[in-house]
Amino acid sequence: MAGCPAVLCGDCREIAAAHGPYDLIIAGPPYCITTLCWDRRVEGRHALAAALLKPVGSLWVFGSLRYLLADAGRFEAVGLRYAQDIVWRKANGTGFAADRFKRVHEIIVQYYRHDALWRDVYNDVQRVPATTRNKSVQLRRARTKHTGSIGGGAYHDDGTRIMKSVIEINSVRSGLHRTEKPVALLAILMRTSCPTGGLVGDFFAGSGAAGEAAALTGRRYVGCEVDPLMAAKARARLNALHNRPS
């Protein structure tokens, strides 16, 4: 485990900078869809992320399409470029409205710095065991009048496939936070986008789930949580994990 992850209590706009720059920033910001006191728009969080990312780092933001579309221009404006998006499919979703489809997914979008090249951004694309048959092939050297000679060589199936962009993991019902993200999902993002031992910044720590994922995957972690009670619960969770006999 990479040290005990830290959850700091305060507004990320005031406390995150002192601990950066970050290899990976996770942002599960308030979606502003309820009247709860913590569910308010955090102006300036886009610029904060852009300023605190390492040149080869990236940012993963959770949201609904409605929310992310409204925000798209703000990422561009601070110099963050869209990289890709994935879908977290929940087996057991939530839904406030009886006149809409039951919502069982969330979108997670990855951004990286405008001044970086995608090929330089840390990216360890995850692989999963294959569910289809073995595909090893011998490629024959091809010669066409349009392309000249191409390729040749062998492709050997190692029994794994690139992970698909729709990831199914149940919602969390720990009672710690009503929008708690699953540790398993956060661990996938960390393995993909942060080197082992690298630093993860979690601007909206909530339950501290990302701190647990960081500890399990060997990344360092700094979480910011503005609600003192929530920050204390997250800290207790991570301390318990750290002190657990292995």
Interacting residues toward ligand SAM by CB under 6 A = 11-13, 28, 30, 38, 42, 177, 179-181, 204, 206-207, 209, 224-227, 230
Q: Which of 57, 206 has the CB closer to ligand SAM?
A: 206
Q: Which residue minimizes CB distance to ligand SAM?
A: 206
The whole-angstrom separation of Cα 22 and Cα 19 is 8
Q: Which of 42, 47 has the CB closer to ligand SAM?
A: 42
Q: Which of 103, 135 has the CB closer to ligand SAM?
A: 103
Q: Which of 39, 76 has the CB closer to ligand SAM?
A: 39
Residue owning tokens 């993002």: 189
**Which residues, including other chains, have CB under 8 Å from residue 129's CB and lie 6 or more apart?**
159, 160, 161
Q: Are 153 and 165 in contact (CB under 8 A)?
A: no
Q: How far is the CB of 118 from ligand SAM (least distance, A)?
A: 26
Closest CA to 216 of 235, 195, 177, 242: 242
Q: Are 89 and 108 in contact (CB under 8 A)?
A: no
Q: How many CA atoms lie within 13 A of 139 on its CB side?
A: 11
Q: How far is the CB of 214 from ligand SAM (least distance, A)?
A: 12
Hey, what are 111's tokens?
A: 């951004």
Q: Which of 177, 191 has the CB closer to ligand SAM?
A: 177
Q: How far is the CB of 182 from ligand SAM (least distance, A)?
A: 8
